[in-house]
Amino acid sequence: MVSSRDVASFLVYFSVFHVFLLKFVDSKCPKSFPCGIFGNLEFPLANYSQPECGLFTVECNAVPHPKVHLDTQWFSPSYQILSNISSSSVRIRNPILEDLLKSKSCSLFLNFSIPHTPSISYQFFPNITLLKCPKNMNVDEEMHYFLDRTRRYEDCDFDFDIYYAANSNENLLLSLPLSLPNVCSVLHLPLKLPPTSDSAELFERLGAEYHLQWILSDDCINCHRKGGQCTSTGNNEFRCEEEKNPLKLILADRRESLLSVSPSSPTQNLKKATNNFDSSKELGDGGFGTVYYGKLRDGREVAIKRLYEHNYKRVEQFINEIKILTCLRHPNLVSLYGCTSRRSRELLLVYEFVSNGTVADHIHGDRAKEAPLSWPIRMNIAIETANALAYLHKSDIIHRDVKTNNILLDDKFCVKVADFGLSRLFPNDVTHISTAPQGTPGYVDPEYHQCYHLTDRSDVYSFGVVLIELISSMPAVDISRHRHEINLANLAISRIQRCAFNELIDSSLGFGSDAEVTRMTTSFAELAFRCLQLEKDMRPSMGEGVSISEGNKG
C-alpha cells in the first residue's frame, strides 16, 4: 500500500526543483571522485558528502543498491541505480512511483513534471504522452475527432480522465488539436521495459524503471569550464558564482521548451495572453511584425511578435528567424521560447520579455529625461553588445540591423540584442547578395551601396554608430542637424579627425570633469572611429572590438 507520506514525498520530488539554493564556490571540489563499482565520476555528479560540488549526488556505498539523488538537498528522494553511469545517463528505479503503480493510484497523474533548472534538465525514456482532461468537458468537433482516436482511462477517483495513444508508435503530441481546451494538460510518464502490448491497460503499461538522461545548459557548461559554480537566483535565473566581476555573469534563464512543454493550442493561448492583440499591449515594431506584451497563464511575461500579413517571402523570413534564433545561445541575445507552427493560421513568435526598453529610449528617447544612463552602464552596454555580435559572427551570422533600437535592456541594465529578422546564414546562402537595401538609415555600411554585399564588417560599422550614440547621447540620424552632420557617423568622423572630442562626447557623463571618464570615452571614440572606416578592411573584427572595449575599461 502507498502511505500518504509516500505520496507527499513523491510530490515533493516534483516541487523540489522550484526551490533553489545558492551554493558557494568550494575550491576543494575534486575534478572527479571514486564511486565504487562505477569508477571515477565527474561533474555534474557529486559525492553524497559533497553536494556543493555538483548538481546532483550519488550515494556510492548505499546497500543493497547505490542511489542517486536528483537534487543536492538532503530531503530529496533517492532512486536505485540499476546500470553503469555514463556521462549523461543512468538507468534507475523510482520506488515511490513503483508503489503508486502497484496500487493503481491516480495521484501519479497529479503534479508530474520534468525536473528543470537553468543549469540542468532531465529526460526519461521510454515514456508515454498522456492528456489529462476533466470528466465533463465540452468538446468541439476537432477535439471530438481527436479523442475518438485515443484510449481513455476513466477509473480515477479524481475529476479527470486520462487519454493516450491507442497505438504506442503514434506520437500524441503531433496529433493534438489546435483547439485543445485550456482545461486539459499534457504529461509524460515512464513506460514499462520491456514494453507491454498495446492492448494492456494504462497502469500495466507504465513502469518505474527507466533511463534518466541529464542535459546541462550551455550557460552551466561555460560556467563550469571557467571554474565557476552553476546556481540559480530566486527568480529562476541562471547564475554563475565566480569571484570576478559579478555584473557580467548575470546570465539569462532559458526556458527552452515553453510551448513544447504545454502545447495546448498555442495560438489561442497567445491571443489570450495578449488580450487578443490589444493595441495597448503593443511594445513596438520589429522586423516584419508587431511586438506585443503577453502574460502566459502561468504568470510568465513574454514578448509576442505577430507577422504583419501573410506573404510567402515574409513567412519564409519568419521561419528563417526562428531557425537562427533557436540555434543561438548567448546571455546578451534575446532568447526565443517557441512559436506557432507553420500549420496554424497565424505565425507568432514568443520571445523572452526584456523589461527595461531599448538603449535608444534610454540615451535620447523618452527615458533619457527621467534618468540618463551613467557612463559605467553605457560602457557595459558597449561591451555586452560587442560580445553578442562577436558571438553571432563566430556562428557565421551577420545581424544586418544593429542599432540602438534593437539593443534591449533588462532590469539590471544587461544587454539583450534583439531582432534577427534580417539575419541570414552565410556564406552558402546566395541571397546575401540581395537587391533590396537592408538595415536602417544612419547605420548602414556605406560600402553596401556600392556592392550590395553585407559582411560581418557591416555590423562593425553599425556598432561604431552605436558607440558614438553611447558617448554623445545623440541619435544616429537627426535632420535638424547641419546638412553634413545629419548622419551621426559623418558628424563623429569630422570631429574626431579634428580631435574635437569635447564637441562630440556628452559632458554630462563626466567628460572633461572626471579624468577617468575622459580617458575612457576618448578611447571608445577612437574605437568607434576605426569601426566607421569607409574601407571595410580597415575596420576591426568584432572579436577585436571586444578586446579593445574591455581593455579601454581597464
Ligand X SMILES: *[C@@H]1O[C@H](CO)[C@@H](O)[C@H](O)[C@H]1NC(C)=O
Which residues are known catalytic residues?
Answer: 401
Q: Can you list the positions of beta strands (E) in 77-207? A: 78-81, 89-93, 120-125, 127-134, 150-153, 160-165, 185-190
Say whether residue 260 binds ligand X (CB under 6 A). no
Cβ atoms of 348 and 305 within 8 Å: the answer is yes
- List the 56-59 sheet strands across, edge first: 45-47, 56-59, 67-69, 78-81, 89-93, 209-216, 120-125
- Answer whether 487's CB lies under 8 Å from 477's CB: yes
**Which residues contact residue 16 at a Cβ distance below 8 angstroms, ignoring those fewer than 6 apart?**
71, 73, 75, 76, 115
Q: Which is nearer to ligand X, 83 or 547 (CB)?
A: 83
Residue from 19, 110, 425, 477 touching ligand X (CB under 6 A): that is 110
Closest distance of CB 247 from ligand X, Å: 13
Binding positions for ligand X, 42-71, rule CB under 6 A? 47-49, 59
Cell readout for 215 is 542535459
Instruction: Select from 344, 356, 434, 523 the one that contacts ligand X (CB under 6 A).
Output: 356
Instruction: Decide: is 40 part of the binding site for ligand X (CB under 6 A).
Output: no
> What mask of x and - would describe binding to ligand X in positions 427 to 446, judged by CB under 6 A?
--------------------
Under a CB-based contact definition with an 8 Å cutoff, are residues 69 and 9 in contact?
A: no
In the complex, least distance from residue 320 CB atom to ligand X, rounded to whole angstroms: 25
Binding site feature residues: 305
In this structure, are residues 62 and 53 in contact, taking their beta carbons and an 8 Å threshold?
no
What residue spans of 226-304 are helical by DSSP H? Answer: 258-261, 266-273
Least distance to ligand X, CB of residue 50, Å: 6
Distance CA 444, CA 46 (A): 51
CA distance 159 to 184: 12
Cβ proximity to ligand X: between 240 and 377 the closer is 377
Q: Least CB distance from residue 315 to ligand X, whole Å?
A: 28
Position 33 contacts ligand X (CB under 6 A)? yes
Whole-angstrom Cα distance, residue 327 to residue 170? 28
Q: Which of 493, 412, 399 is nearest to 439 (CA)?
A: 399
Tell me: does residue 351 bind ligand X (CB under 6 A): no
Dist. CA 175–CA 56, nearest whole Å: 35
191 vs 470, beta carbon nearer ligand X:
191
Q: Cβ 300 to ligand X, closest distance in Å?
A: 15
Residue 125 or 501 having the CB closest to ligand X: 125
Assess 83 for contact with ligand X (CB under 6 A).
Answer: yes
Q: How far is the CB of 98 from ligand X (least distance, A)?
A: 18
Q: Which of 63, 52, 210 is nearest to 128 (CA)?
A: 210
Given 84, 88, 260, 431, the residue binding ligand X (CB under 6 A): 84
Q: Does 123 bind ligand X (CB under 6 A)?
A: yes
- Contact between 355 and ligand X (CB under 6 A)? yes
Stretch that binds ligand X, among 67-75, 108-116, 133-141, 247-255 (CB under 6 A): 108-116
Distances (CA, A) of 135 to 180, 376, 532: 15, 59, 66
Which residue's CB is nearer to ligand X, number 182 or number 276? 182
For residue 83, the minimal CB distance to ligand X (Å) is 5
Instruction: Name the residue nearer to ligand X (CB basis): 357 or 446.
Output: 357
- Can you tell me the distance from the alpha carbon of 147 to that of 161, in angstroms, rounded to the nearest whole number? 11
Residue 421, judged by CB atoms within 10 A of its CB (0-12, 13-18, 19+), counts as: buried
Of 107-115, 170-178, 307-315, 390-398, which segment contacts ligand X by CB under 6 A? 107-115
x/- binding map, residues 180-199, to ligand X, per CB under 6 A?
--------x-----------
Kindly determine how many residues on this chain lie close enough to bind ligand X according to the rule CB under 6 A.
Answer: 21
Q: Which residues are annotated as a binding site for ATP?
A: 305
What pairs with residue 91 in β-bridges? Answer: 211
Query: Which one of 117-125, 227-235, 279-287, 334-342 is the stretch in contact with ligand X (CB under 6 A)?
Result: 117-125
Collect all residues with Cβ–Cβ distance below 8 Å to 166 and sequence separation of at least 6. Answer: 149, 150, 151, 198
Of the two residues 318 and 353, which places its CB atom closer to ligand X in the complex? Answer: 353
Bridge partners, 348 (sequence order): 306
182 versus 507: smaller Cβ distance to ligand X = 182
Burial of 374 (C-beta count, 10 Å sphere; 0-12/13-18/19+) = middle
Q: If binding is defined by CB under 6 A, does position 9 make contact with ligand X?
A: no
| Smallest separation (angstroms) from ligand X to the CB of 114 | 5
Q: Is 124 in the site for ligand X (CB under 6 A)?
A: yes
Q: How far is the CB of 310 from ligand X (least distance, A)?
A: 32
From the list 95-103, 123-131, 155-163, 492-500, the region that binds ligand X by CB under 6 A is 123-131
> Which residue, 131 or 454, has its beta carbon nearer to ligand X?
131
Q: What is the CA radius of gyration of the chain?
A: 27
Q: Nearest distance from residue 480's CB to ligand X, in Å? A: 28
User: Is residue 507 within the footprint of ligand X (CB under 6 A)?
Assistant: no
Quick one: 290 or 356, whose CB is closer to ligand X?
Answer: 356
446 φ/ψ angles, rounded to the nearest 5 degrees: -60, -25
Query: Which range, of 119-127, 308-316, 384-392, 523-531, touches ligand X by CB under 6 A?
Result: 119-127
Quick check: 106 binds ligand X (CB under 6 A)?
A: no
Beta bridge partners of 151: 164
DSSP state of 420: -
CA angle 392, 395, 400 (to 5 degrees): 40
Residue 384, SS3 per DSSP: helix
> What is the contact surface with ligand X in residues (CB under 6 A)?
11, 15, 33-34, 47-49, 59, 83-84, 110-111, 114, 123-125, 127, 188, 355-356, 411
